[in-house]
Amino acid sequence: MSDFEAATAAYYRQQQYQPGWLDLFSVVVEGMFANASEAESLAFLRQMGGQLAQRYPLANATTVADLEQDINRLLARFGWGTVDIQPAGASLVITHLALPPGDDKMAAARWRSVLTAILQGLYAGWLQAQGGDPLIAVTPEASEREDMLRFRYQR
């Protein structure tokens, strides 16, 4: 990453950081992981992402571009970065960029798994509300970048 890219990324992360709320969320998540298994905690966070999708429904999209635009409108409202959605054969590849930063108290790997679970539930909820089959999974894929998550929506 160039100095320019690093400076830009740092700027956007600072815009997303909300003292107090993020700290509270971090404490709640750490408490959840301390009192439930990792699998149970991540399942709960996916469920909460799905409920967030219900609370903030998308307009009915007629194209992938419409879907991407409406999701980006809501992500901007949350300060949660941006998404790129690309059709790939019989699947959609969902790339979430400019992830919200953690609070530097929670381990980076844990923060990433928390965001992955929440966004997995959020995207699944939104796609199901668009008429998607609830049996089709939104599956996380490996990503080499710290500020990006990738998911695949495919049977």
Is the pLDDT at 135 greater than 80? The verdict is: yes
Range of the domain at 53: 3-154
Is the pLDDT at 6 greater than 80? The verdict is: no
Q: What is the CATH number of the domain that holds 25?
A: 3.30.1380.20
Q: So what's the pLDDT on residue 5? A: 63
What tens digit of pLDDT does each residue of 31-89 get? 999 999 999 999 999 999 999 999 999 999 999 999 999 999 999 898 888 999 999 99
What tens digit of pLDDT does each residue of 96-134 get? 998 888 887 889 899 999 999 999 999 999 999 999 999
Mean pLDDT of the region 2-23: 66
Q: So what's the pLDDT on residue 101? A: 80
Number of domains in the chain: 1
Give CA–CA dist 53/36, Å, rounded. 24
Question: Is this prediction's pTM over 0.75?
Answer: yes
Q: So what's the pLDDT on residue 53? A: 98
Arithmetic mean of pLDDT over the chain:
89
Is the pLDDT at 10 greater than 90? The verdict is: no
Q: So what's the pLDDT on residue 66? A: 97
pLDDT tier, 14 (very low <50, low <70, confident <90, very high otherwise): low
